[in-house]
Amino acid sequence: MATIAVLGTLDTKGVEHTFIADEIRRRGHDALLIDVGTGFPATTDHDIKREVVVSAAGLDMVSISSSKDRGKCVAAMVKAAPVFLEQLRKEGGIKGVISLGGGGGTAIATAAMRALPIGFPKLMISTLASGNTAPYVGSKDIVMMPSIVDVAGLNKISRTLFSQGAAAICGMVDIQISSFEDKPVIVASMFGNTTECVGTAKQVLEKCGYEVLVFHSTGTGGRCMESLIESGMVAGVLDITATEWADELVGGVLAAGPHRHEAAGRAGVPTIIVPGCLDMVNFGEPDTVPLEFAERSFYHHNPQVTLMRTNPEECRELGRILAGKINDYTAPVTVLLPLKALSVIGAAGNPFHDVDADQALFDAIRMHLRKEIKVVEMDAEINDSAFARLCAKSLQDLMAKT
């Protein structure tokens, strides 16, 4: 029998969360009912009071409630709930978590769930699950289940879905994961324009006994890779595709946020960094490209993806940004520069071939990097097999030193 946390705003949704807890118990597990409400007193009996939750983050429920500002109260609980739930997990007190919610409840519960590691069962039944769930899921494996009707009372539809949700979290907790050969994990970033490079490097590393997990540099992919690096499960990083920074700087649709290329530095993981695909910014269909870029160079990757060539000014700034992130690394790190092309379409004779822009990027990286950080240049395109093998060997050399 496992204990499953039932996390909820019990001031407004006590009956609903109690129903979930009872369904979990009916299936042979224990349920720990935790109140994260911030308004009226809880409407149902529960195991852990909200005062205990907020105290884990050094907060006081009386001062939180005295503000009478719902937004501030929810923000305080969003800060406290992750601290409490992760502490509970570390102590072995829970093996899974489930919650129900509207806007405020979903914000609180998913914030707490995002604090838990990948692989820990998490299920959110929410009125917001059919819309844009990215702010709630983040880079974690939270299962979002639409509530269909509002989470307000029990009825024919809600009873059915809540029961299924309880069964789902019990199943996630019960499942026995097959044992696999325990190989050191390497993560790699890839894009369509760097597929050959990553594929070749992956083959080399796998033959040497590593398991290589590839992440697509689409914003979400970069954030997920950073999250996995932070988890402590990663032995090495092959960060070949930095295109998300071009979107972050210029306003493309695949930005990964301002903290990309930080996790490996903080976690002390040996890393190879290549400025792959910094010759492009990603937009959607052609009519989604901002008018200010009308005179720029474009490549229509497919009907839904329009690529824009970065210019020398943007490349200089991208080089400065990337170097700044790398300068904070304490673990072994090497920068590899493929001098002939940063992507398939950046090679000579292709639409994004621009020697001046590439040179501006390379010069900025060299200029802003700390002198002791190793930079290796190869007169090759990024997808040349020789460059791919260099990436793999360089990472192996770094990992051998740790």
The per-residue DSSP string of 184-233 comes to PEEEEEE-GGGHHHHHHHHHHHHHTT-EEEEEE-SSHHHHHHHHHHHTT-
**What pLDDT was estimated at residue 359?**
98
Cα→Cα distances 356→202, 224, 351, Å: 31, 33, 14
CATH 3.60.20.10 fits 3-174, yes or no: no
- Higher pLDDT residue, 73 or 137? 137
pLDDT value, residue 290 = 95
Say what the pLDDT of residue 398 is.
Answer: 96
Q: What is the C-alpha separation between 384 and 372, in angstroms, rounded?
A: 27
Q: What is the pLDDT of residues 24-78, one digit of tens each?
A: 999 999 999 999 998 889 999 999 999 999 998 898 887 777 767 778 888 999 9
CA distance 107 to 137: 10
Separate counts of helices (H) and strands (E) for the chain: 14, 14
Q: What is the pLDDT of residue 181?
A: 66
Q: Is residue 246 within 8 Å of 400, Cβ to Cβ? A: no
pLDDT tens column, 220-255: 999 999 999 988 889 999 999 999 999 999 999 999
Classify strands 298-302 and 305-309 as parallel, antiparallel or unpaired: antiparallel
In the predicted structure, residue 105 carries a pLDDT above the cut 80: yes
Instruction: Give the tens place of pLDDT for each residue, 340-365.
Output: 999 999 999 999 999 999 999 999 99
Whether the CB-CB separation of 117 and 25 falls below 8 Å is answered with no
Point out the least confidently predicted range of 2-16, 46-60, 357-371, 386-400.
46-60
Q: How far apart are CA 294 and CA 335, in angstroms?
A: 34
pLDDT of residue 59: 84
- When mean pLDDT is compared across 7-16, 129-138, 310-319, the lowest value belongs to 129-138
Q: How confident is the model at residue 180 (pLDDT cuts 50, 70, 90)?
A: low
Integer angstrom CA distances of residue 342 from 250, 287, 381: 18, 26, 7
pLDDT at 57: 87
User: Under a CB-based contact definition with an 8 Å cutoff, are residues 262 and 244 in contact?
Assistant: no
Report domain 185-400's class: alpha beta
pLDDT tens by residue, 257-271:
999 999 999 999 999
- pLDDT bucket at 185, cuts 50 / 70 / 90: very high
Give the residue extent of every domain in the chain. 3-174, 185-400
- Could you tell me the CA-to-CA distances from 308 to 187, 247, 321 in Å, in that order? 27, 10, 19
Mean of the pLDDT values across residues 87-103? 95
Question: Please, how many CA atoms are within 13 Å of residue 368, restricted to the half-sphere of its CB?
Answer: 19
Q: How far apart are CA 118 and CA 111, in angstroms?
A: 14
pLDDT recorded at residue 177: 75
Beta carbons within 10 angstroms of residue 167's beta carbon: 14
Domains 3-174 and 185-400 agree in fold: yes
Mapped onto helix, strand or coil, the DSSP state of residue 122 is strand
Task: State the average pLDDT for the chain.
Answer: 94
Residue 118, helix vs strand vs coil: coil
Closest CA to 93 of 61, 77, 116: 116
How far is residue 14's CA from residue 222's CA, in Å, rounded to a whole number?
38
- Whether residue 131 has pLDDT greater than 90: no
Percent residues over pLDDT 90 in the chain: 85
Is a pLDDT exceeding 70 seen at residue 114?
Answer: yes
Could you give the C-alpha distances from 357 to 199, 232, 245, 248, 363, in angstroms and in order? 26, 37, 15, 18, 10
Report which of 180, 352, 223 is spatially closest to residue 279, judged by C-alpha positions.
352
In three-state secondary structure terms, 31 is strand
pTM: 0.78
Beta bridge partners of 35: 8
For 380-391, write each residue's pLDDT tens digit: 999 999 999 999
Q: Is the dihedral of CA 95, 142, 104, 115 positive or negative?
A: positive
Identify the band that residue 132 occupies on the pLDDT scale cut at 50, 70 and 90: confident
